[in-house]
Structure 1
Protein backbone atom coordinates (compact mmCIF):
# COMPACT_ATOMS: atom_id res chain seq x y z
CA UNK A 1 0.00 0.00 0.00
CA UNK A 2 1.20 3.50 -0.80
CA UNK A 3 0.70 6.09 1.91
CA UNK A 4 0.33 9.85 2.00
CA UNK A 5 -1.52 12.82 3.48
CA UNK A 6 -3.50 15.75 2.12
CA UNK A 7 -3.12 18.93 4.22
CA UNK A 8 -6.64 20.20 4.88
CA UNK A 9 -5.40 23.74 5.31
CA UNK A 10 -4.72 23.84 1.56
CA UNK A 11 -8.40 23.29 0.69
CA UNK A 12 -10.79 26.10 -0.15
CA UNK A 13 -13.04 25.82 2.87
CA UNK A 14 -13.32 23.33 5.70
CA UNK A 15 -13.61 19.56 5.39
CA UNK A 16 -15.19 16.92 7.61
CA UNK A 17 -14.68 13.37 6.40
CA UNK A 18 -17.10 11.69 8.80
CA UNK A 19 -20.00 14.03 8.08
CA UNK A 20 -19.34 13.73 4.35
CA UNK A 21 -19.37 9.93 4.11
CA UNK A 22 -21.93 9.19 6.86
CA UNK A 23 -24.57 11.79 6.01
CA UNK A 24 -26.68 9.58 3.74
CA UNK A 25 -25.10 10.62 0.44
CA UNK A 26 -22.98 7.54 -0.15
CA UNK A 27 -23.33 3.85 0.70
CA UNK A 28 -20.09 2.70 -0.92
CA UNK A 29 -17.67 3.47 1.92
CA UNK A 30 -17.29 1.24 4.96
CA UNK A 31 -15.86 2.09 8.36
CA UNK A 32 -13.02 -0.16 9.45
CA UNK A 33 -14.38 -0.46 12.98
CA UNK A 34 -17.77 -1.65 11.72
CA UNK A 35 -19.60 1.42 13.02
CA UNK A 36 -20.81 2.87 9.72
CA UNK A 37 -24.23 4.50 10.08
CA UNK A 38 -24.70 3.28 13.66
CA UNK A 39 -25.39 6.83 14.86
CA UNK A 40 -27.73 9.39 13.35
CA UNK A 41 -25.60 12.53 13.81
CA UNK A 42 -21.84 12.18 13.35
CA UNK A 43 -19.02 14.54 12.50
CA UNK A 44 -15.42 15.21 13.38
CA UNK A 45 -14.34 11.60 13.92
CA UNK A 46 -10.95 10.09 13.11
CA UNK A 47 -12.11 6.65 11.95
CA UNK A 48 -10.62 4.83 9.00
CA UNK A 49 -12.94 4.54 6.00
CA UNK A 50 -12.30 2.21 3.09
CA UNK A 51 -13.66 1.45 -0.36
CA UNK A 52 -12.66 -0.23 -3.61
CA UNK A 53 -12.82 2.30 -6.42
CA UNK A 54 -13.37 1.29 -10.05
CA UNK A 55 -11.47 3.02 -12.86
CA UNK A 56 -12.71 6.62 -13.04
CA UNK A 57 -12.81 8.51 -16.32
CA UNK A 58 -10.13 11.19 -16.34
CA UNK A 59 -8.97 10.28 -12.83
CA UNK A 60 -7.57 6.74 -12.66
CA UNK A 61 -7.21 3.85 -15.06
CA UNK A 62 -7.23 0.99 -12.58
CA UNK A 63 -9.25 -0.43 -9.73
CA UNK A 64 -7.87 0.82 -6.40
CA UNK A 65 -8.28 0.00 -2.73
CA UNK A 66 -8.44 3.27 -0.80
CA UNK A 67 -8.37 3.81 2.97
CA UNK A 68 -8.60 7.28 4.51
CA UNK A 69 -9.00 9.00 7.85
CA UNK A 70 -8.97 12.58 9.09
CA UNK A 71 -6.54 13.41 11.83
CA UNK A 72 -4.43 16.37 12.99
CA UNK A 73 -5.38 18.66 10.11
CA UNK A 74 -4.70 16.14 7.34
CA UNK A 75 -6.41 13.43 5.36
CA UNK A 76 -4.17 10.43 5.92
CA UNK A 77 -4.51 7.79 3.22
CA UNK A 78 -3.36 4.31 2.22
CA UNK A 79 -3.97 2.93 -1.26
CA UNK A 80 -2.81 0.60 -3.98
CA UNK A 81 -2.08 3.72 -6.06
CA UNK A 82 -1.70 7.45 -5.60
CA UNK A 83 -4.97 8.27 -3.84
CA UNK A 84 -4.80 12.06 -4.06
CA UNK A 85 -6.62 12.43 -7.40
CA UNK A 86 -9.11 9.72 -6.42
CA UNK A 87 -9.94 11.31 -3.05
CA UNK A 88 -10.07 14.76 -4.61
CA UNK A 89 -12.65 13.43 -7.06
CA UNK A 90 -14.74 11.27 -4.71
CA UNK A 91 -14.86 13.76 -1.83
CA UNK A 92 -14.99 16.94 -3.92
CA UNK A 93 -11.87 18.34 -2.28
CA UNK A 94 -11.57 20.69 -5.27
CA UNK A 95 -14.81 22.50 -4.37
CA UNK A 96 -14.52 26.00 -2.95
CA UNK A 97 -16.88 25.24 -0.08
CA UNK A 98 -16.84 28.76 1.34
CA UNK A 99 -17.81 30.28 -2.00
CA UNK A 100 -20.50 27.67 -2.58
CA UNK A 101 -22.20 28.20 0.78
CA UNK A 102 -21.85 31.97 0.45
CA UNK A 103 -23.74 31.72 -2.84
CA UNK A 104 -26.79 30.20 -1.12
CA UNK A 105 -29.43 32.40 0.55
CA UNK A 106 -29.15 34.05 3.96
CA UNK A 107 -31.64 31.76 5.59
CA UNK A 108 -32.01 30.76 9.23
CA UNK A 109 -32.48 27.07 8.55
CA UNK A 110 -29.47 26.93 6.24
CA UNK A 111 -27.31 28.85 8.70
CA UNK A 112 -28.17 26.41 11.49
CA UNK A 113 -27.48 23.41 9.27
CA UNK A 114 -24.14 24.83 8.09
CA UNK A 115 -23.13 25.55 11.69
CA UNK A 116 -24.01 22.02 12.81
CA UNK A 117 -21.85 20.26 10.22
CA UNK A 118 -19.02 22.57 9.13
CA UNK A 119 -16.93 21.07 6.35
CA UNK A 120 -19.45 18.56 5.06
CA UNK A 121 -19.05 18.26 1.30
CA UNK A 122 -20.98 16.47 -1.38
CA UNK A 123 -19.63 13.16 -2.68
CA UNK A 124 -18.95 12.21 -6.28
CA UNK A 125 -19.60 8.46 -6.29
CA UNK A 126 -18.98 6.15 -9.28
CA UNK A 127 -22.13 6.43 -11.43
CA UNK A 128 -23.24 2.80 -11.75
CA UNK A 129 -22.75 1.99 -8.06
CA UNK A 130 -24.50 5.23 -7.09
CA UNK A 131 -27.43 4.37 -9.34
CA UNK A 132 -27.84 0.92 -7.79
CA UNK A 133 -27.47 2.32 -4.26
CA UNK A 134 -30.36 4.72 -4.70
CA UNK A 135 -32.56 2.17 -6.46
CA UNK A 136 -32.16 0.24 -3.21
CA UNK A 137 -32.91 3.29 -1.07
CA UNK A 138 -36.70 3.41 -1.40
CA UNK A 139 -38.39 3.25 2.01
CA UNK A 140 -35.18 2.19 3.72
CA UNK A 141 -33.12 3.45 6.64
CA UNK A 142 -29.61 4.53 5.72
CA UNK A 143 -28.07 1.66 7.68
CA UNK A 144 -30.13 -0.86 5.71
CA UNK A 145 -29.22 0.75 2.38
CA UNK A 146 -25.54 0.61 3.33
CA UNK A 147 -25.89 -3.03 4.40
CA UNK A 148 -27.40 -3.95 1.05
CA UNK A 149 -24.50 -2.39 -0.87
CA UNK A 150 -21.92 -4.13 1.31
CA UNK A 151 -23.74 -7.44 0.79
CA UNK A 152 -23.81 -6.96 -3.00
CA UNK A 153 -20.06 -6.30 -2.96
CA UNK A 154 -19.27 -9.27 -0.72
CA UNK A 155 -21.40 -11.73 -2.69
CA UNK A 156 -20.91 -10.66 -6.29
CA UNK A 157 -17.99 -8.21 -6.59
CA UNK A 158 -14.28 -8.79 -7.05
CA UNK A 159 -12.32 -9.82 -3.96
CA UNK A 160 -9.03 -8.04 -3.32
CA UNK A 161 -6.56 -9.58 -0.86
CA UNK A 162 -4.06 -7.03 0.40
CA UNK A 163 -1.72 -6.96 3.39
CA UNK A 164 -3.68 -9.72 5.07
CA UNK A 165 -7.01 -7.94 4.64
CA UNK A 166 -9.89 -8.74 2.29
CA UNK A 167 -11.68 -5.97 0.41
CA UNK A 168 -14.75 -6.30 -1.81
CA UNK A 169 -15.41 -4.19 -4.89
CA UNK A 170 -18.93 -3.19 -5.83
CA UNK A 171 -20.13 -5.48 -8.65
CA UNK A 172 -19.69 -4.39 -12.23
CA UNK A 173 -22.83 -4.14 -14.40
CA UNK A 174 -21.90 -7.46 -15.98
CA UNK A 175 -21.50 -9.16 -12.60
CA UNK A 176 -24.88 -7.93 -11.35
CA UNK A 177 -26.66 -8.61 -14.62
CA UNK A 178 -25.57 -12.25 -14.37
CA UNK A 179 -27.39 -12.73 -11.04
CA UNK A 180 -30.96 -13.94 -10.81
CA UNK A 181 -33.77 -12.08 -9.12
CA UNK A 182 -33.90 -14.81 -6.50
CA UNK A 183 -30.19 -14.40 -5.69
CA UNK A 184 -30.73 -10.68 -5.17
CA UNK A 185 -33.81 -11.27 -3.03
CA UNK A 186 -31.69 -13.51 -0.78
CA UNK A 187 -29.70 -10.37 0.07
CA UNK A 188 -32.97 -8.79 1.29
CA UNK A 189 -33.40 -6.46 -1.67
CA UNK A 190 -37.09 -7.41 -1.76
CA UNK A 191 -39.13 -5.82 -4.54
CA UNK A 192 -36.02 -3.86 -5.57
CA UNK A 193 -34.31 -7.05 -6.80
CA UNK A 194 -35.77 -7.06 -10.33
CA UNK A 195 -35.08 -3.32 -10.65
CA UNK A 196 -31.42 -3.86 -9.79
CA UNK A 197 -31.09 -6.86 -12.10
CA UNK A 198 -32.74 -5.16 -15.07
CA UNK A 199 -30.86 -1.87 -14.60
CA UNK A 200 -27.56 -3.76 -14.44
CA UNK A 201 -28.56 -5.62 -17.60
CA UNK A 202 -29.34 -2.33 -19.40
CA UNK A 203 -25.88 -0.99 -18.61
CA UNK A 204 -24.05 -4.27 -19.29
CA UNK A 205 -25.70 -4.66 -22.70
CA UNK A 206 -25.09 -1.06 -23.73
CA UNK A 207 -28.78 -0.16 -23.77
CA UNK A 208 -28.24 2.82 -21.47
CA UNK A 209 -25.63 4.26 -19.10
CA UNK A 210 -25.97 6.87 -16.34
CA UNK A 211 -23.08 8.84 -17.87
CA UNK A 212 -25.34 9.68 -20.81
CA UNK A 213 -26.93 12.32 -18.56
CA UNK A 214 -23.67 14.28 -18.58
CA UNK A 215 -23.78 17.33 -20.80
CA UNK A 216 -27.57 17.52 -20.83
CA UNK A 217 -29.59 20.34 -19.35
CA UNK A 218 -30.56 19.49 -15.77
CA UNK A 219 -34.19 18.44 -16.27
CA UNK A 220 -33.28 16.52 -19.43
CA UNK A 221 -30.57 14.74 -17.46
CA UNK A 222 -33.10 13.76 -14.81
CA UNK A 223 -35.43 12.42 -17.49
CA UNK A 224 -32.53 10.45 -19.02
CA UNK A 225 -31.96 8.59 -15.78
CA UNK A 226 -35.62 7.66 -15.37
CA UNK A 227 -35.16 5.24 -18.26
CA UNK A 228 -33.68 2.81 -15.75
CA UNK A 229 -36.05 0.38 -14.08
CA UNK A 230 -36.93 1.49 -10.56
CA UNK A 231 -35.71 5.06 -11.10
CA UNK A 232 -38.17 7.88 -10.59
CA UNK A 233 -37.49 11.58 -10.32
CA UNK A 234 -36.18 11.46 -6.73
CA UNK A 235 -33.69 8.64 -7.34
CA UNK A 236 -32.60 10.33 -10.56
CA UNK A 237 -31.95 13.56 -8.65
CA UNK A 238 -29.84 11.65 -6.10
CA UNK A 239 -27.64 10.21 -8.85
CA UNK A 240 -27.32 13.60 -10.53
CA UNK A 241 -26.29 15.24 -7.25
CA UNK A 242 -24.13 12.57 -5.62
CA UNK A 243 -22.38 11.24 -8.72
CA UNK A 244 -22.74 13.32 -11.87
CA UNK A 245 -22.02 16.81 -10.55
CA UNK A 246 -25.41 18.47 -11.02
CA UNK A 247 -25.08 20.62 -7.91
CA UNK A 248 -28.45 22.25 -8.50
CA UNK A 249 -30.34 18.95 -8.05
CA UNK A 250 -32.66 18.77 -5.04
CA UNK A 251 -34.02 15.26 -4.38
CA UNK A 252 -37.51 15.64 -2.92
CA UNK A 253 -37.28 13.01 -0.21
CA UNK A 254 -39.27 12.87 3.02
CA UNK A 255 -37.00 15.31 4.86
CA UNK A 256 -37.00 17.90 2.10
CA UNK A 257 -40.77 17.61 1.81
CA UNK A 258 -40.89 18.27 5.56
CA UNK A 259 -38.64 21.31 5.11
CA UNK A 260 -40.88 22.58 2.33
CA UNK A 261 -44.00 22.20 4.47
CA UNK A 262 -42.48 23.90 7.53
CA UNK A 263 -40.06 26.47 6.09
CA UNK A 264 -40.80 26.97 2.38
CA UNK A 265 -44.55 26.34 1.96
CA UNK A 266 -44.73 28.58 -1.09
CA UNK A 267 -42.55 26.02 -2.90
CA UNK A 268 -45.20 23.29 -2.76
CA UNK A 269 -46.54 23.33 -6.30
CA UNK A 270 -48.40 20.01 -6.37
CA UNK A 271 -46.06 18.07 -8.67
CA UNK A 272 -42.44 16.93 -8.57
CA UNK A 273 -41.14 19.00 -11.47
CA UNK A 274 -42.78 22.26 -10.44
CA UNK A 275 -42.01 21.85 -6.73
CA UNK A 276 -38.43 20.97 -7.64
CA UNK A 277 -38.04 24.17 -9.63
CA UNK A 278 -39.46 26.25 -6.78
CA UNK A 279 -37.31 24.76 -4.00
CA UNK A 280 -34.19 24.93 -6.19
CA UNK A 281 -34.76 28.64 -6.58
CA UNK A 282 -35.44 29.07 -2.86
CA UNK A 283 -32.19 27.27 -1.98
CA UNK A 284 -30.02 29.30 -4.32
CA UNK A 285 -30.19 27.80 -7.79
CA UNK A 286 -26.80 26.57 -8.97
CA UNK A 287 -25.77 25.19 -5.55
CA UNK A 288 -29.21 24.25 -4.24
CA UNK A 289 -28.11 20.61 -3.95
CA UNK A 290 -25.42 21.56 -1.44
CA UNK A 291 -27.99 23.46 0.64
CA UNK A 292 -30.41 20.54 0.36
CA UNK A 293 -27.85 18.05 1.64
CA UNK A 294 -27.12 20.12 4.73
CA UNK A 295 -30.85 20.54 5.42
CA UNK A 296 -31.47 16.81 4.86
CA UNK A 297 -28.75 15.78 7.31
CA UNK A 298 -29.62 18.46 9.87
CA UNK A 299 -33.31 17.54 9.99
CA UNK A 300 -32.81 13.77 9.76
CA UNK A 301 -30.33 13.90 12.63
CA UNK A 302 -32.82 15.77 14.83
CA UNK A 303 -31.41 19.28 14.51
CA UNK A 304 -34.87 20.71 15.14
Structure 2
Protein backbone atom coordinates (compact mmCIF):
# COMPACT_ATOMS: atom_id res chain seq x y z
CA UNK A 1 0.00 0.00 0.00
CA UNK A 2 1.14 3.51 -0.81
CA UNK A 3 -0.09 6.46 1.23
CA UNK A 4 0.25 10.20 1.07
CA UNK A 5 -1.15 13.64 1.75
CA UNK A 6 -2.00 16.53 -0.56
CA UNK A 7 -2.17 19.84 1.36
CA UNK A 8 -5.16 21.88 0.21
CA UNK A 9 -3.01 24.98 0.60
CA UNK A 10 -0.93 23.69 -2.33
CA UNK A 11 -3.94 23.91 -4.65
CA UNK A 12 -5.13 26.95 -6.56
CA UNK A 13 -8.24 27.64 -4.55
CA UNK A 14 -10.27 25.74 -1.95
CA UNK A 15 -11.33 22.10 -2.08
CA UNK A 16 -14.22 20.13 -0.59
CA UNK A 17 -14.15 16.39 -1.24
CA UNK A 18 -17.66 15.50 -0.12
CA UNK A 19 -19.48 18.02 -2.28
CA UNK A 20 -17.24 17.13 -5.22
CA UNK A 21 -18.03 13.40 -5.20
CA UNK A 22 -21.60 13.53 -3.76
CA UNK A 23 -23.16 16.32 -5.82
CA UNK A 24 -24.58 14.24 -8.66
CA UNK A 25 -21.53 14.51 -10.91
CA UNK A 26 -20.05 11.04 -10.34
CA UNK A 27 -21.49 7.66 -9.43
CA UNK A 28 -18.21 5.75 -9.40
CA UNK A 29 -17.09 6.50 -5.83
CA UNK A 30 -18.37 4.80 -2.68
CA UNK A 31 -18.09 5.74 0.96
CA UNK A 32 -16.34 3.29 3.24
CA UNK A 33 -19.14 3.77 5.79
CA UNK A 34 -21.80 2.81 3.24
CA UNK A 35 -23.53 6.21 3.35
CA UNK A 36 -22.86 7.42 -0.18
CA UNK A 37 -25.67 9.69 -1.40
CA UNK A 38 -27.68 9.33 1.81
CA UNK A 39 -27.20 13.04 2.62
CA UNK A 40 -28.51 15.46 0.00
CA UNK A 41 -26.78 18.57 1.32
CA UNK A 42 -23.33 17.07 0.92
CA UNK A 43 -20.32 19.13 1.95
CA UNK A 44 -17.65 19.34 4.60
CA UNK A 45 -17.51 15.69 5.67
CA UNK A 46 -14.48 13.60 6.56
CA UNK A 47 -15.54 10.16 5.30
CA UNK A 48 -13.27 7.86 3.32
CA UNK A 49 -14.20 7.40 -0.36
CA UNK A 50 -12.94 4.64 -2.61
CA UNK A 51 -12.98 3.62 -6.26
CA UNK A 52 -11.23 1.40 -8.79
CA UNK A 53 -9.66 3.52 -11.52
CA UNK A 54 -8.89 2.12 -14.98
CA UNK A 55 -5.71 3.10 -16.83
CA UNK A 56 -5.98 6.78 -17.77
CA UNK A 57 -4.32 8.16 -20.88
CA UNK A 58 -1.43 10.41 -19.93
CA UNK A 59 -2.01 9.82 -16.21
CA UNK A 60 -1.58 6.16 -15.25
CA UNK A 61 -0.80 2.99 -17.19
CA UNK A 62 -2.28 0.62 -14.64
CA UNK A 63 -5.54 -0.08 -12.90
CA UNK A 64 -5.54 1.29 -9.35
CA UNK A 65 -7.59 1.12 -6.20
CA UNK A 66 -7.76 4.54 -4.56
CA UNK A 67 -9.09 5.57 -1.16
CA UNK A 68 -9.25 9.23 -0.16
CA UNK A 69 -10.60 11.44 2.59
CA UNK A 70 -10.31 15.08 3.58
CA UNK A 71 -9.50 16.12 7.12
CA UNK A 72 -9.55 19.90 7.38
CA UNK A 73 -6.86 21.12 4.97
CA UNK A 74 -5.36 17.70 4.23
CA UNK A 75 -6.34 15.30 1.45
CA UNK A 76 -5.22 11.89 2.71
CA UNK A 77 -4.97 8.93 0.34
CA UNK A 78 -4.18 5.21 0.23
CA UNK A 79 -3.69 3.33 -3.02
CA UNK A 80 -2.08 0.49 -4.92
CA UNK A 81 0.09 3.13 -6.62
CA UNK A 82 1.03 6.81 -6.38
CA UNK A 83 -2.43 8.37 -6.30
CA UNK A 84 -1.43 12.02 -6.63
CA UNK A 85 -1.66 12.20 -10.45
CA UNK A 86 -4.82 10.09 -10.42
CA UNK A 87 -6.58 12.25 -7.83
CA UNK A 88 -5.37 15.40 -9.54
CA UNK A 89 -7.01 14.16 -12.74
CA UNK A 90 -10.24 12.71 -11.32
CA UNK A 91 -10.96 15.58 -8.90
CA UNK A 92 -9.59 18.40 -11.06
CA UNK A 93 -7.13 19.46 -8.39
CA UNK A 94 -5.25 21.27 -11.16
CA UNK A 95 -8.07 23.76 -11.73
CA UNK A 96 -7.64 27.31 -10.43
CA UNK A 97 -10.93 27.41 -8.56
CA UNK A 98 -10.27 30.87 -7.15
CA UNK A 99 -9.96 32.30 -10.65
CA UNK A 100 -12.92 30.31 -12.00
CA UNK A 101 -15.34 31.54 -9.35
CA UNK A 102 -13.96 35.08 -9.46
CA UNK A 103 -14.52 35.21 -13.21
CA UNK A 104 -18.16 34.11 -12.93
CA UNK A 105 -20.82 36.75 -13.66
CA UNK A 106 -21.79 38.93 -10.71
CA UNK A 107 -25.09 37.26 -9.80
CA UNK A 108 -26.48 36.89 -6.24
CA UNK A 109 -27.59 33.30 -6.96
CA UNK A 110 -24.08 32.31 -8.00
CA UNK A 111 -22.52 34.01 -4.99
CA UNK A 112 -24.80 32.16 -2.59
CA UNK A 113 -24.06 28.81 -4.24
CA UNK A 114 -20.29 29.44 -4.23
CA UNK A 115 -20.39 30.33 -0.56
CA UNK A 116 -22.54 27.36 0.47
CA UNK A 117 -20.39 24.78 -1.32
CA UNK A 118 -17.01 26.46 -1.17
CA UNK A 119 -14.36 24.20 -2.68
CA UNK A 120 -16.60 21.96 -4.77
CA UNK A 121 -14.82 21.02 -7.99
CA UNK A 122 -15.93 19.29 -11.14
CA UNK A 123 -14.92 15.68 -11.67
CA UNK A 124 -13.14 14.09 -14.61
CA UNK A 125 -14.55 10.55 -14.67
CA UNK A 126 -13.41 7.79 -17.07
CA UNK A 127 -15.44 8.29 -20.29
CA UNK A 128 -17.18 4.91 -20.71
CA UNK A 129 -18.22 4.63 -17.06
CA UNK A 130 -19.45 8.23 -17.11
CA UNK A 131 -21.46 7.56 -20.27
CA UNK A 132 -23.17 4.52 -18.77
CA UNK A 133 -23.84 6.35 -15.50
CA UNK A 134 -25.72 9.14 -17.21
CA UNK A 135 -27.59 6.81 -19.57
CA UNK A 136 -28.93 5.34 -16.32
CA UNK A 137 -29.72 8.77 -14.85
CA UNK A 138 -33.00 9.53 -16.63
CA UNK A 139 -35.81 10.14 -14.14
CA UNK A 140 -33.75 8.78 -11.26
CA UNK A 141 -32.65 10.06 -7.87
CA UNK A 142 -28.90 10.24 -7.40
CA UNK A 143 -28.91 7.44 -4.81
CA UNK A 144 -30.59 5.07 -7.26
CA UNK A 145 -28.22 5.98 -10.08
CA UNK A 146 -25.32 5.24 -7.76
CA UNK A 147 -26.88 1.93 -6.78
CA UNK A 148 -27.17 0.89 -10.43
CA UNK A 149 -23.49 1.53 -11.07
CA UNK A 150 -22.48 -0.37 -7.95
CA UNK A 151 -24.60 -3.37 -8.99
CA UNK A 152 -23.07 -3.34 -12.47
CA UNK A 153 -19.59 -3.37 -10.94
CA UNK A 154 -20.44 -6.08 -8.41
CA UNK A 155 -21.95 -8.36 -11.07
CA UNK A 156 -19.74 -7.79 -14.10
CA UNK A 157 -16.63 -5.90 -12.98
CA UNK A 158 -13.16 -7.35 -12.52
CA UNK A 159 -12.22 -8.22 -8.93
CA UNK A 160 -9.22 -6.40 -7.47
CA UNK A 161 -7.56 -7.30 -4.15
CA UNK A 162 -6.27 -4.48 -1.96
CA UNK A 163 -5.49 -4.23 1.75
CA UNK A 164 -7.29 -7.46 2.59
CA UNK A 165 -10.48 -6.56 0.69
CA UNK A 166 -11.93 -7.34 -2.72
CA UNK A 167 -12.97 -4.39 -4.88
CA UNK A 168 -14.96 -4.50 -8.11
CA UNK A 169 -13.93 -2.36 -11.06
CA UNK A 170 -16.54 -0.80 -13.32
CA UNK A 171 -17.29 -3.26 -16.13
CA UNK A 172 -15.45 -2.95 -19.42
CA UNK A 173 -17.44 -2.30 -22.62
CA UNK A 174 -16.80 -5.91 -23.59
CA UNK A 175 -18.23 -7.23 -20.32
CA UNK A 176 -21.45 -5.23 -20.66
CA UNK A 177 -21.77 -5.94 -24.38
CA UNK A 178 -21.83 -9.66 -23.57
CA UNK A 179 -24.84 -9.29 -21.29
CA UNK A 180 -28.44 -9.70 -22.33
CA UNK A 181 -31.13 -7.10 -21.84
CA UNK A 182 -32.83 -9.44 -19.35
CA UNK A 183 -29.65 -9.74 -17.27
CA UNK A 184 -29.30 -5.97 -17.07
CA UNK A 185 -32.98 -5.55 -16.23
CA UNK A 186 -32.41 -7.92 -13.31
CA UNK A 187 -30.06 -5.27 -11.91
CA UNK A 188 -32.96 -2.78 -11.88
CA UNK A 189 -31.85 -0.87 -14.97
CA UNK A 190 -35.40 -1.04 -16.34
CA UNK A 191 -35.92 0.46 -19.79
CA UNK A 192 -32.31 1.68 -19.71
CA UNK A 193 -31.01 -1.90 -20.01
CA UNK A 194 -31.04 -2.11 -23.84
CA UNK A 195 -29.49 1.37 -24.06
CA UNK A 196 -26.56 0.30 -21.87
CA UNK A 197 -26.13 -3.00 -23.69
CA UNK A 198 -26.21 -1.49 -27.17
CA UNK A 199 -23.92 1.41 -26.21
CA UNK A 200 -21.43 -1.09 -24.75
CA UNK A 201 -21.59 -3.03 -28.03
CA UNK A 202 -20.80 0.14 -29.97
CA UNK A 203 -17.71 0.84 -27.86
CA UNK A 204 -16.53 -2.78 -27.64
CA UNK A 205 -16.91 -3.24 -31.39
CA UNK A 206 -15.04 -0.07 -32.29
CA UNK A 207 -18.11 1.57 -33.81
CA UNK A 208 -17.72 4.65 -31.59
CA UNK A 209 -15.92 5.74 -28.44
CA UNK A 210 -17.02 8.57 -26.13
CA UNK A 211 -13.39 9.71 -25.80
CA UNK A 212 -13.38 10.44 -29.55
CA UNK A 213 -15.58 13.48 -28.88
CA UNK A 214 -12.52 15.25 -27.46
CA UNK A 215 -11.00 17.81 -29.79
CA UNK A 216 -14.25 18.66 -31.54
CA UNK A 217 -15.94 22.02 -31.22
CA UNK A 218 -18.32 21.90 -28.25
CA UNK A 219 -21.64 21.53 -30.07
CA UNK A 220 -20.10 19.08 -32.54
CA UNK A 221 -18.81 17.03 -29.60
CA UNK A 222 -22.30 16.98 -28.11
CA UNK A 223 -23.74 15.84 -31.44
CA UNK A 224 -21.11 13.09 -31.67
CA UNK A 225 -22.13 11.66 -28.30
CA UNK A 226 -25.83 11.52 -29.23
CA UNK A 227 -25.10 8.62 -31.58
CA UNK A 228 -24.93 6.34 -28.53
CA UNK A 229 -28.22 4.63 -27.75
CA UNK A 230 -30.11 6.37 -24.97
CA UNK A 231 -28.06 9.56 -25.22
CA UNK A 232 -29.80 12.85 -25.91
CA UNK A 233 -28.44 16.36 -25.61
CA UNK A 234 -28.66 16.50 -21.80
CA UNK A 235 -26.84 13.21 -21.21
CA UNK A 236 -24.24 14.20 -23.80
CA UNK A 237 -23.66 17.47 -21.96
CA UNK A 238 -23.17 15.57 -18.69
CA UNK A 239 -20.48 13.40 -20.27
CA UNK A 240 -18.79 16.42 -21.84
CA UNK A 241 -18.75 18.27 -18.51
CA UNK A 242 -18.02 15.49 -16.03
CA UNK A 243 -15.59 13.45 -18.09
CA UNK A 244 -14.25 15.08 -21.24
CA UNK A 245 -13.24 18.53 -20.01
CA UNK A 246 -15.81 20.72 -21.79
CA UNK A 247 -16.22 23.14 -18.90
CA UNK A 248 -18.63 25.31 -20.87
CA UNK A 249 -21.24 22.52 -21.09
CA UNK A 250 -24.52 23.06 -19.22
CA UNK A 251 -26.79 20.01 -18.94
CA UNK A 252 -30.35 21.37 -19.07
CA UNK A 253 -31.85 19.20 -16.35
CA UNK A 254 -34.89 19.90 -14.19
CA UNK A 255 -33.02 22.14 -11.74
CA UNK A 256 -31.34 24.27 -14.38
CA UNK A 257 -34.60 24.65 -16.26
CA UNK A 258 -36.15 25.78 -12.95
CA UNK A 259 -33.37 28.33 -12.58
CA UNK A 260 -34.04 29.56 -16.11
CA UNK A 261 -37.77 29.86 -15.43
CA UNK A 262 -37.38 31.70 -12.12
CA UNK A 263 -34.24 33.78 -12.63
CA UNK A 264 -33.37 33.97 -16.33
CA UNK A 265 -36.58 33.59 -18.37
CA UNK A 266 -35.06 35.50 -21.27
CA UNK A 267 -32.70 32.53 -21.79
CA UNK A 268 -35.56 30.19 -22.70
CA UNK A 269 -35.34 30.00 -26.47
CA UNK A 270 -37.64 27.08 -27.24
CA UNK A 271 -35.03 24.52 -28.33
CA UNK A 272 -32.31 22.77 -26.38
CA UNK A 273 -29.54 24.13 -28.60
CA UNK A 274 -30.68 27.74 -28.49
CA UNK A 275 -31.52 27.71 -24.79
CA UNK A 276 -28.14 26.10 -24.11
CA UNK A 277 -26.35 28.89 -25.96
CA UNK A 278 -28.28 31.57 -24.09
CA UNK A 279 -27.81 30.17 -20.58
CA UNK A 280 -24.19 29.33 -21.32
CA UNK A 281 -23.53 32.98 -22.08
CA UNK A 282 -25.45 34.09 -18.97
CA UNK A 283 -23.41 31.68 -16.82
CA UNK A 284 -20.12 33.04 -18.09
CA UNK A 285 -19.15 31.10 -21.18
CA UNK A 286 -15.83 29.29 -20.74
CA UNK A 287 -16.55 28.00 -17.21
CA UNK A 288 -20.34 28.00 -17.41
CA UNK A 289 -20.45 24.32 -16.48
CA UNK A 290 -18.76 25.06 -13.18
CA UNK A 291 -21.38 27.68 -12.38
CA UNK A 292 -24.13 25.27 -13.45
CA UNK A 293 -22.88 22.58 -11.08
CA UNK A 294 -22.88 24.93 -8.10
CA UNK A 295 -26.37 26.18 -8.97
CA UNK A 296 -27.63 22.61 -9.46
CA UNK A 297 -26.32 21.44 -6.08
CA UNK A 298 -27.54 24.59 -4.33
CA UNK A 299 -31.08 24.52 -5.72
CA UNK A 300 -31.49 20.75 -5.43
CA UNK A 301 -30.79 21.02 -1.72
CA UNK A 302 -33.26 23.79 -0.97
CA UNK A 303 -30.94 26.74 -1.35
CA UNK A 304 -33.74 29.01 -2.51
TM-score range, shorter chain: over 0.9
Structure 2, unmatched stretches of 5+, are: none
Q: Following superposition, which runs of at least 4 residues in structure 1 exceed 3 angstroms of deviation?
A: none
- The aligned residue for residue 109 of structure 2 is 109
Question: What CA deviation, in whole Å up to 9, does each residue of 1:64-89 have, x standing for no partner?
Answer: 00000001311100000000000000
1:261, 1:184 → 2: CA distance?
37
Corresponding residue for residue 73 of structure 2: 73
Q: Report Cα offsets for 1:52-106 as digits up to 9, x if no partner.
A: 0000000000000000000131110000000000000000000000101111100
The answer for the alignment partner of 2:154 in structure 1 is 154
Please state whether the residue corresponding to 1:237 is helix, strand or coil: helix
Determine the structure 2 residue equivalent to 1:126. Answer: 126
Segment of structure 1 superposing worse, 158-167 or 285-294: 158-167
Deviation of residue 160 (structure 1)? 1.1
Q: Determine the structure 2 residue equivalent to 1:87.
A: 87
Structure 1 unaligned residues grouped into runs of 5+? none
Aligned length: 304
Deviations 1:161-181 (A, max 9, x none): 222212110000011101110
Could you say which residue in structure 2 is the equivalent of 1:275?
A: 275
What does the per-residue CA deviation read over 1:152-211, in whole Å, with 9 as the maximum and x for residues that have no partner?
000000011222212110000011101110000000000000000000000000000001
What per-residue deviation string (whole Å, max 9, x for no partner) do you get for residues 245-267 of structure 1?
00000000000000000000000
Q: Normalization by structure 2: what TM-score? A: 0.99
Task: Tell me the TM-score normalised to structure 1 length.
Answer: 0.99
Give SS of 1:206's match: coil
CA separation in 2, counterparts of 1:98 and 1:71? 21
The CA RMSD measured in Å over matched residues stands at 0.5
Give SS of 2:4's match.
strand
| Correspondence for 2:13 | 13
Query: What residue in structure 2 maps to residue 246 of structure 1?
Result: 246
